[in-house]
Structure 1
Amino acid sequence: MRTLVFVDLDDTLFQSLQKCPIENALHPVAYLRDRSANSFMTAKQRMLWQLLDDNALIIPTTARDYDSLYRVKLPFRSWCILNYGGVILTPAGVPDPYWHQRMTIASEAAISDLTAVLILINTAITRYALAAHSRLITDFNLPFYVVVKYRAGHIADLDQLQQMVVTPWLMTHHDYQLHRNGNNLAILPRSLGKEHAVHYLIKQLTNEWGELLTIGIGDSLIDGAFMAECDYSITPRGSQLFKETLGRQLV
């Protein structure tokens, strides 16, 4: 029986230097376009990676797009799930044809709404001089979702933007959901989701290989949906998902 591990990347396998504990064993693993390191693995994360890589097929399941995934210097050897499930790359490194067609239809249905909410967000940023920036995330010529981030030290501006614009918009657009974790705020169509891609890939690989053991690993509340598609789930201690689940059991 083969073991598949669907694993989120940022804040699960590695994180920015500011989020790292103080230790001497930090290992750079993800880079900016200028080739400077911006994400690091701790010794325990490196040990976890090696344990998984030695015993299972690791499938990155990430919000990262194609460009930023390949600035992660880890040896991904097979399937990859990108853009919150918007893209599934085959082991040959090309989009899965069926999934690409499915997401083309979903993206076409969402583009007008995503454009409209992006305009509302940018208007508010300008009007209230908020220290935030937003953009529409596209990959393989498909628009997927809107992301907003605050500039260093201005988390209150993102809170204000969420309260004034995003939450009221979502109350009248029920086919969309909010993902908020730290400095990241994303507005996603419900047709987009890591869980949809994981479900599809488990079904396809079960048909090809037979019964599988599947493990999901993630840190955010939104990751819980794809982890629930798997036989077992793992979340880092102290993560957003941990605090809202297992962390509630701590005395």
Structure 2
Amino acid sequence: MDKELFLDEIKENIKYHQEHHNLTQLTYQSTMKFLIDRFFKDISLEDVIVNELHFIREASRKLDELTRCVDWKRKGDKREGKWEEEHALLRWLLTLEHFLSVCFVPNEEYVGLIGSIMSVFQASKDKNKEISFWCLNSIEHAASKRTMKVDDLLTSGVVDISLEEIQQPTINDEMEFVFWGVFESISSRLKGKGGDGMEEAKRKVTKMEMFEKLEEEGYEDIVISFLEVFKFLDENNFNGLPFDISDYFVNS
């Protein structure tokens, strides 16, 4: 379908909804997803959805709204039809996970979005494994892409929450895999000169502060092990961390 046949009408409908809230949750989210799915064929849609339709700001607002509406203590059969908020929240997270993996347009609103995703994770981590899983996947995409600046990632609290969660005795390999993947992505971006448009002096200071924070939290031995894993991966041309990453750390 040609862009001219649908884009203007969709943009008008979305902007009207943002002012008057005339669409259902499902319709609004599905419309946004329709545009995101077409990034592959028309890269210009990225700028439209990020800077004109303010998807990042809207998604952050919806995550915050739905997180407040969910009764995280509720128990029962999810087939009873009383879980609309969880379903809506999961749909937004799935859309965000895809969006963060394909979008390269920078925007200052990413900080608020990552903060909202981390709030959903903290609320759902012991209550809804599926929601918390997609939160982590979204965070991993955000950390690995240069769409977000390293400073913005650090400001969002991703590193602090990751350190807190890694220390939990109940953490599983899947979660640890993602958290250390976040550290790996940030570290790799700080490693190269001029990364993220950051001045060299600022880059060195930020890199030092990050690793000092890891050491302050008692991860000095793990940092050493972590660097050895990076070296091994680089020498063997591996593109990512192994899933059983916790087996590689001396204190895990």
TM over 0.5: no
Higher strand share: 1
Using structure 1 for the length normalisation, give the TM-score: 0.26
Q: With CA pairs under 8 Å and 6+ residues apart, which has the higher RCO, 1 or 2?
A: 1
TM-score (norm 2): 0.26
Select the structure that is richer in helix. 2
Q: Higher Cα Rg: structure 1 or 2?
A: 2
